[in-house]
Structure 1
Amino acid sequence: MRLEVETSELERIGKAFQAISKETSYEGLAKALLKAALDYSDAGRGAVLLSESGELLTRADASFPRERPKFLASQPPASEFRLPVDLSERVLTRREIVLRDDGWEGSALIDSARCRRGPIVQLCLPLIHRDQTVGVLYLESERKETFGPRYVSVVSMLASQAAVSFESVQLFEALRETNLWMVKGQQIGRMGSYRWNTRTLLSRASRECYRLFDIDFDVNPVPFEVFKSRVHPDDIPALEEALAEAVGTKSPFSHEYRVVHRDGTTLHVAAVGQFDVGPTGDVELEGIISDITDRKAAEQALTDARTELARAIRLASLGELAGSIIHEINQPLTGIIMSAEACLRWLERSPIEPAEARRSALRVIEQGRRAGDVVAGLRTLVRGAQLRFADVQINDAIEEILLLLKRDLERAGVTLNTALDKSIPTIEGDRVQLQQVVLNLVRNAIDAMASVTGKRRVLSLSTKVGGAGVAVVIADTGIGIAPASRDRLFDALYTTKRDGLGLGLSICRKIIAVHGGRLWVEENTPNGATFTFTLPLHQSGSISANH
């Protein structure tokens, strides 16, 4: 009979040890220890105080000033647990097991102490882990015989088991916290980790992977067919080919494809991984899968914006071409009209002067051809084709333009001063294009002096050789250029004229740039503006008009 009692008691103690050792949380460990201690005796009251930090007593800590977390389990429930000062000193500091008689006023269970008055017996044991007091087991009874030597011995073993289990709880909590951080990090980064067995075609994956592929959590491991059922049908062939190549060569895997959820939601994902030998000896692909839907949307938006910009540029180029033709063809047309009018005047004279009329008619033909050259040149410039480079005597080309504009200068009351350097050698260039630049700059100078009154209107045009190039300088005594306009003067569609198209200077700069030169503007002193462009002395025979 005694043997049966002892066997039953050992079974109770063994179950208590098992209950304590299987706990994986601080709170659960505190409750399990208290239940085991109360079940083993008729003590009706008790408490376990456990510190998560490993130190029961709060200490000043500048790096973590908050109060360290504590877990309290009590029976009956108590809102506050406070050991008497002397008991705290002996148990927590000296680490003694204390058994003593006391009155209710000495109870550590504050709520219980308010209910009754009378003598009590207290048993208090420290929970020691790695030379630190990490908790305390406190029991109360109204009978002295409750806490006999045998009971104290058993409870001490239970307390020791709880202290040993404390380390397991610490490790489990750290693992739980690390896993929580990983899960949270994957949620924030919208990426999941996976391992795919290349032999069994089964996958193990994180929760975020399940979410990305809209797969139920109870599907574990995930068969390849379940995974493939979520891949967009159009992307399956390329994915299988990429996997086969990676498996065959054991090279790092990287591929992007679409995932379709059961509700029709489509995600873009990027999968990367590398091969490793798994626990079973099978080759496994381990890696991460990221949700790149937002990135794809941003890339598509950027592509759309670029496409729209390219379309706008093409439209602007067409508009610039049309405007340029209007702008530049006006000069030859003016020459045609002037020559035709002169021809009529010679024919209307009495007697008729056929020689002069013939010369005027020839100028009409010449200007008509010039208009054709302007159109062809502008078309060439915009299309980026090869310009017709040939030997050009820049002074002769300029003099032809000044002759054409002689009547315009006279009508505007402009005095022309020229200083053409006769030592300038022949350069390579497109004669018509360069004449268009001079023509446009001279006309702009005339327009800039149209509103000038009370002083002379002077246009100065000079050429000179300097360094490895030729400089052409066109200066006026006009109204000058406002500082706000100077930086934008060569922008397409920008103009300071009320009826201007804002194309002439932009095209001029393009022409000069194609010739390998530079065009800029400076302010005159005391008034007016000076436009200067340079041309290199030597050009290759074939220069593309890219701009």
Structure 2
Amino acid sequence: AMIDCATPDGEPVFRSRGLREFLGYNLEDLDDAESRLASTLDAGVHPDDLAGVKKAYAHSLSTGQPYARRHRLRRFDGEYRWVETRAAPMRNVEGVIVQWNVVCLDIDGEVRTQEELRLSQEKLARAGQAASLAELSASIAHEVNQPLAAVVANSHACQRWLTAEPPNLDRARITVERIIRDANSAADVVSHIRALFKQTLYPRTASSLGELIAEVRGLMADELRKNGVTVVVELDADMPPVAFDRVQLQQVLVNLMRNAVEAMSSVRGARTMIVRAQTSGEAIEVRVSDSGVGIPMPDKIFEPFFTTKENGMGMGLAVSRSIVESHGGRLWAENNDEKGSTLVFTLPVKAKDPE
């Protein structure tokens, strides 16, 4: 520590050897100056810090309050180093200031380390943002790809019906209706993503979860058939309607059902998925169960970018949980007693206002 002692008006009268060596001159070298304090500050404090230091010193000298400030101070070799200066008044029995005792600490290493840490954190944050954007883009592409893939498949089917001899116009018409449905589904996903970034709220209307499950099952029919998965739907009778954003909940169900399909990809033999919706107190509970190998870490699969799949992005379940929680519900995972796992989410019967 470098020590300085000053008169009640702040004029230095003693400086320790360490401070003299740091500054590169003795206190007596300032005898011809009008003010030792002013000369020291003008010669040593960095120009960008000088006004603030003088103002703080003047305030302490006029009020008797302690002084504490970090600033850059010029060393004897011309290098500016960060220091922390603290000054406290010494008073006599009547409470009158008789001397100021000043301690100056060289904290340049600490400040530079903090600055390097801050820059590293900024770089890490920018890298994280870039990674998040890449992951989000992949997640959006994943969501839109499902209806677009159905549009392409149905377009090929429509072409076959129209080029048949004779053309099968009835089947072609049905296929065109499916194309329109799937194209609208893709458009809805895009519009809701745009609304997410604009913080636009879509109305939540009371609807049947059973109808939504049937709708998603139809959307995923080709994927389920291709993977040899049989879906069993079990619905409680007289389930009350629930208010939800249809497109968002459709995304949740697609993600959960696709997760179940992928969980059974290595299973030989029958692949069965059970989708059950039931009333549970003041909420509706939806369970998507598979007969796969189970989940090693049920609590971690909802963390962004965590995935157990070789080519997975780790975003689907994290986004799904956010959607469910925005509806006032919960989403969690549990392993089945025998084999496989179950993804469960709840929605309150009494709707939560959208945030």
Fold equivalence (TM over 0.5)? yes
Q: Which residue in the other structure is 1:201 paired with?
A: 11
Residue 492 of structure 1 corresponds to: 304
> 223, 226, 229: which one pairs with 1:414?
229
1: CA distance, partners of 2:10 / 2:229: 93
AA at the equivalent of 2:272: V
Residue type of the partner of 1:231? V
Distance 1:386 1:516, change over 3 A: farther
5+ long unaligned stretches in structure 2: none
Gaps of 5+ in 1: 1-190
Work out whether 1:223 is the aligned partner of 2:36. Answer: yes
The CA distance in 2 between the partners of 1:335 and 1:392, in whole Å, is 28
SS in 1 for 2:353: coil
Aligned residue number for residue 263 of structure 1: 77
Instruction: State the Cα distance separating 1:345 from its structure 2 match.
Output: 4.1
Q: Residues 495, 282 of structure 1: CA spacing in aligned structure 2 closer, same or farther, 3 A cutoff?
A: closer
Q: Deviations over 1:453-473 (max 9, x none)?
A: 24x221100112223432210
Say which SS state the counterpart of residue 271 (structure 1) adopts: strand
Matched residue of 2:87: which SS? strand
Q: Which residue of 1 aligns with 2:214?
A: 399
Aligned length: 348
| Alignment correspondent of 2:118 | 303
TM-score, normalised relative to structure 2: 0.85
Q: Which residue of 2 aligns with 1:531?
A: 343
Q: Deviations over 1:261-286 (max 9, x none)?
A: 1312222112222334579x776433
What is the match of residue 320 of structure 2?
508
Give the fraction of aligned pairs with identical amino acids, expressed as a percent. Answer: 33
State the Cα distance separating 1:354 from its structure 2 match: 4.2
Could you tell me how far 1:437 is from its partner in structure 2? 1.4
- What CA distance in whole angstroms lies between the structure 1 residues aligned with 2:201 and 2:162? 40
1:376-391 counterparts in 2 under 5 A? Answer: 376-378=191-193, 380-381=195-196, 383=197, 385-391=199-205
Whether 1:467 and 2:281 are equivalent positions in the alignment is yes
Equivalent-residue separation in structure 2 for 1:198 and 1:428 (angstroms): 74
Q: Are 2:62 and 1:248 equivalent residues in the alignment?
A: yes
RMSD: 2.9
Of structures 1 and 2, the larger Rg is shown by: 1
Choose from 426, 433, 449 the match for 2:248. 433
Q: For residue 318 of structure 2, what is the amino acid of its counterpart?
A: S
Q: What residue number does 1:521 align with?
A: 333
**1:453 maps to 2:268:** yes
Shift of 1:475: 0.4
Q: CA deviation at 1:258?
A: 0.5
Give the secondary-structure state (helix, strand or coil) at the position aligned to 1:417: strand
**Greater RCO structure (CA 8 Å; 6+ sep):** 2
Q: Structure 1 residue 319: deviation in Å?
A: 0.5
Residue 182 (structure 2) pairs with residue 375 (structure 1): no
Q: 1:466 to 1:277 in 2, by over 3 A?
A: same
Report the Cα offset of residue 328 of structure 1: 1.3
Runs of 4+ in structure 1 deviating by more than 6 angstroms, as ranges, are none
Q: CA deviation at 1:220?
A: 8.2
State whether residues 473 and 532 of structure 1, in contact with CA within 8 Å, keep that contact through their aligned partners in structure 2: yes
Matched, 1:192 2:7: no
TM-score, structure 1 length as denominator?
0.57
Structure 2 match to 1:235? 49
Q: Deviations over 1:462-518 (max 9, x none)?
A: 11222343221000112323x3x5454334334333443333223223332333333
Letter in 1 for 2:6: W
Q: Is the 8 A contact 1:193 1:288 kept in 2?
A: yes
Choose from 203, 210, 214 the match for 2:20.
210
Question: Aligned equivalents of 1:428 and 1:317: distance in 2?
Answer: 30
In structure 2, the CA distance between the partners of 1:358 and 1:525, relative to structure 1 (3 Å rule), is same
Structure 1 residues 242 and 459: CA distance shift in structure 2, 3 A: same
**Contact 2:328-2:352 within 8 A present in 1 as well:** no
Distance 1:412 1:516 in 2: 33
Structure 2 residue identity aligned to 1:445:
A
Q: Is residue 212–residue 291 contact of structure 1 (8 Å, CA) maintained in 2?
A: no
Letter matched to residue 508 of structure 1: S
* Distance (Å, rounded) in 1 between the aligned partners of 2:239 and 2:5: 77
Provide Cα deviations, 1:345-368, integer angstroms capped at 9, x if missing partner. 443455545455334323322322
Cα distance change, pair 334–275 in 1 and its aligned pair in 2 (3 A) = same
Tell me the equivalent position of 1:112.
Answer: none
